[in-house]
Structure 1
Amino acid sequence: MAKAKVAGALICLVIVAMDVLAGILGIEAEVAQNKVQHLRLWIFECREPSHEAFKLGVAAAILLGLAHVITNLLGGCNCICTQEEFEKASPNRQLSMGCLIFAWIILAVGLSMLVIGTLSNSKSRASCGFTHHHFLSIGGILCFVHALFSVAFYVSTTAEESKH
């Protein structure tokens, strides 16, 4: 039992570390993006792309995706298909399912923000268009939130499994 607790703590630490690093990289990508010169007119912006922001954004998106994959693979399958099953499920299982749903939503929004911000810094985007301000930093902040729900999902799922 002690080995399982140590392994669980280590898995949670890895998930949090990956998400926190992804968040930091997303915010650093925003900082790098803001260092390039740009001309802004209302909601339109002309600027050169930042290769540094592109690299940091790609790394952040990859780390967020990997953290999510690890969470889902090691957290196991937690399928509740109907409202009746949800109502009959234990509180741990209900919490686990709720955290899983929120983790997926946060992944979708955070990864989208990181990808949009990253693509706006690709070399082929040295043109004018709508502003993409703060997409990278918002994606980075959502990485931190993803860590909370991922760890809560993993802990509640493994707590439910250890009862059986």
Structure 2
Amino acid sequence: MSADYVIPAQARIGHVHLKVSDLERSLAFYRDLLGFEVTTLYGSQAAFISAGGYHHHIGLNTWHSKGAPPAPVYGVGLYHTAVVYPTRKDLAVIFERLQKAKYPLTGASDHGVSEALYLNDPDGNGVELYWDRPKELWPSKADGSLNMYTKALDLDDLLKTLDQQEY
């Protein structure tokens, strides 16, 4: 293996596939609350969901996990799935939707490069909902590397975005 290989800049994460214990409960979260669209169902065992008509961004299945308890917090596995929203206003819209549904957040952070909401799906899988600031606004160190941080996200200020005309 060559240590100097660099993945092509156009490469991207295509989808995530989650083992869930109850497909309908997961669809109620991902489809009904977060707004993903079902692209196909495999009976009562699996569903593929997407945003914008892509074949699937998230796969949900009960093939090896029907009725299973959540994975332990202190073990290896997926930390969270991240969903990037195109604008700050889109993030405000989903935040307001979560508030109205009384769905609990596990965190809300400003990372300098992005603003993020954190929550768990019904199986305890972490979910990050975020938007990226324009790249020219990303904080950097003197050497040009990113200066990411974690500060509390001002949720009241995020909600003020809903009143803005630009979308």
TM-score (normalizing by structure 1): 0.22
Which structure has more relative contact order (CA 8 Å, sep 6+)? It is 1
Based on CA coordinates, which of the two structures has the bigger radius of gyration? 1
Higher strand share: 2
TM-score (normalizing by structure 2): 0.22
Higher helix share: 1
